[in-house]
Amino acid sequence: MKLYSTKFLFAALCTSFLVIGCSNDDDNMDMNPNPPMAEVDFSGSFSQVDHMGRPGINTVLSGSADIKNMHNVTIPSMMGASFQADFEAQLEGMHDAYAIALGLTAEDVDYQPNILGDILNGPEPTSESNPNPVSATVLTTVLANDVLEVAPNAPTIYFDAGAGAPTFDGAIGFTGRRLQDDVIDISLILLFGGETGARFNGEDGLPQLVTDGVSLTADNISASFPYIGAPE
């Protein structure tokens, strides 16, 4: 009998431990699968460090690192008044430098109003009665404001020369930007291409200034994020 009593006592102790281990203390635990997230603190001082409306413009037309850095932290509404004159001086200075390199006078290689004038004026040749409105002042005023224009009622494109020179039939520009738009080449054409778009095209002893020589390929554009494939 003593042996059986010991067995029953051991079994009773095991049962009591099991009951205690399975108590309903878990009922008091927070079982919410989506606990509230901690609030994010946005207090403090923040600094704007860059703009990228028109890639390359600030790099090409800023005459110094200080001007470039200041342009990057200036709000768009203040850019034109703050940087247009500097950008124009840099544009004219580049043409003067090429004149010296070519053994010509500055007047021979001065900035030449560009193809946007033909688009705005129509196919008639530039003349006193039909001036090309895209002077260095006009162009640098547009480019100093580092924003992309949007035209809700026109195709989205950085620039399309249409039929090209000399008529530029169907040309449109600055109505937005697509991934496949070669904005660097377009910008160089507007800065150095003159009225034909090919003024400094690397021919007849002139430097190649209307392209960076890097092309975009349609097969590198994707319809899903991040939209551009691996570098080629």
Q: Express each pLDDT in 81-98 by its tens digit.
A: 999 999 999 999 999 998
- The predicted model gives 46-66 an average pLDDT of 83
Higher-confidence residue: 191 or 128? 191
Q: Are 209 and 192 in contact (CB under 8 A)?
A: yes
List the beta strands (DSSP E) in the chain: 159-160, 172-173
For the chain, percent of residues with pLDDT exceeding 90:
16
Helix (H, G, I), strand (E, B) or coil at 54: coil
Higher-confidence residue: 121 or 200? 200
Decide if pLDDT at 59 tops 90: no
For the chain, percent of residues with pLDDT exceeding 70:
76
Q: Give the CA distances from residue 91 to residues 2, 108, 139, 173, 205, in Å, rounded to whole numbers and listed in that order.
A: 110, 15, 10, 21, 21
- The predicted model gives 154-181 an average pLDDT of 79
Q: Are 201 and 210 in contact (CB under 8 A)?
A: yes
List the beta strands (DSSP E) in 59-165: 159-160
Decide if pLDDT at 66 tops 90: yes
Q: How far apart are CA 178 and CA 158, in angstroms?
A: 7
Q: Sort 61 into a burial class: Cβ within 10 Å, 0-12 / 13-18 / 19+.
A: buried
Tokens matching residue 76 = 């768009």
Helix (H, G, I), strand (E, B) or coil at 159: strand
Q: How confident is the model at residue 34 (pLDDT cuts 50, 70, 90)?
A: low
Q: Are 174 and 186 in contact (CB under 8 A)?
A: no
Decide if pLDDT at 175 tops 60: yes
Mean per-residue pLDDT over the chain, rounded = 78
- The predicted model gives 162-177 an average pLDDT of 76
The pTM of this model reads 0.70
Which helix (H) or strand (E) element contains residue 29? Answer: none
Q: Sort 32 into a burial class: Cβ within 10 Å, 0-12 / 13-18 / 19+.
A: exposed
Per-residue pLDDT of 120-152, as tens digits, reads 666 666 677 777 778 888 889 888 988 888 888
Q: How far apart are CA 203 and CA 167, in angstroms?
A: 22
